[in-house]
Amino acid sequence: MSIDLEPCPFCGDRDSVTDIFTRDGRKIVCRCGASMIRFQPNASEKAAAAWNRRAPIRTVGERHVG
Ligand SMILES: [Zn+2]
């Protein structure tokens, strides 16, 4: 069971959002620099839910898009 991802909260682009599944969890990234990482059991659903709540973690500092 997976959760569909919303478009990026920063650039609004859906096609730029990429899912990366790792051994330890799930990482959701966007080409604009936004990212969301979860390393837990049920990481997949939690990462998607966190992303969809539009509360991304800025990992690359302030960036201007567009
Ligand atoms: Zn973006």
Q: Is residue 41 part of a domain?
A: yes
Q: Is residue 66 part of a domain?
A: no
Q: Is residue 48 part of a domain?
A: yes
Whether pTM > 0.85 for this model: the answer is no
Place of tokens 């201007």: 64
Residue range of the domain that includes 6: 1-55
Please, is 17 exposed, middle or buried when counting C-beta atoms within 10 Å of its C-beta (0-12, 13-18, 19+)?
Answer: buried
Residue type, 60: V
Cα separation of the two ends of the chain: 34
Q: Above 90 in pLDDT, residue 21?
A: no
Q: Is residue 64 part of a domain?
A: no
Total number of domains in the chain: 1
Q: What is the pLDDT of residue 62?
A: 55
Segment 39-54, tens digit of pLDDT:
666 667 777 887 888 6
Ligand 1 center to 6 CA (angstroms): 11
Q: Which two structure tokens, joined as six digits, stand for 14?
A: 């859906």
Q: Output the average pLDDT for the chain.
A: 77
Ligand 1 center to 37 CA (angstroms): 15
Q: Is residue 60 part of a domain?
A: no
